[in-house]
Amino acid sequence: MKLFLVGVWAVCVTLGAGYAVASWKMQETDKQETPRLEGLRYTSLPTISVPVVQGGQVTGYVVVRMVYTADAAVLRGLASEPDPFITDEIFRSIYGNAEASFGKLARFDLASLAEEAKVRVNERMGAPVVEDLLVDGLNYIDLTAPQKGMPGAPAPAPKSLGAARIAYPSSVPKGEAKAAPKGGGH
């Protein structure tokens, strides 16, 4: 019985010491938090296509791809990502400023577009989140231009594929023709 009590005492001392050391180490790591080296984070936004409307008709699309920079520490502290807000502001700016003659890109001031969107997003987020807004790609798709980019060229007529015919080898008797495979072939 004496040996059993000594064994229980040894186990209790070992568990108590292990618990004390573990809790001491946990408190020490909380006090000595290593500083993170952080900087700007570059985030690509999805491609945005904005319709250009003239006279109730869509005459083309402005297709833009943007990248924004933001302080990584600020982004980590936000409740939500700024991506939808940036996309919304870019769409609103382009939609409000796009003209049917958007094909002349020299007339469109990209610097003011980016600056206005950045200021509005930071206002909506309630903090200076977006450091810079960069244009990764910009295109205009003109729906009023003839096909293949040739002035005055008529649009090609759609091709009719017609019905496919299956030819059977002459060695198969007429009444024993095999059925075509399911799935339509190719």
Q: Where are the domains of the chain?
A: 40-145
Q: What is the pLDDT of residue 32?
A: 58
Q: Please, are residues 52 and 61 in contact by the beta-carbon 8 Å criterion?
A: yes
Helix (H/G/I), strand (E/B), else coil: 74:
helix
Q: Please, are residues 50 and 98 in contact by the beta-carbon 8 Å criterion?
A: yes
Fold of 40-145: Tetrahydropterin Synthase; Chain A (3.30.479)
> Which bin fits 121, alpha (ψ -120 to 50), beta or left (φ > 0)?
alpha
pTM for this model (two decimals): 0.55
Written as tens digits, the pLDDT of the chain (186 aa) is: 888 888 888 888 888 888 888 888 877 766 655 555 568 888 888 999 888 887 788 888 888 898 988 888 888 888 888 888 888 988 888 887 766 455 444 466 778 888 888 899 888 888 888 888 888 888 888 887 665 545 555 555 444 444 444 444 555 445 544 444 455 444
Q: What is the pLDDT of residue 161?
A: 43
Q: What is the pLDDT of residue 110?
A: 79
Q: Which amino acid is at 174?
A: K
Q: What is the pLDDT of residue 162?
A: 44
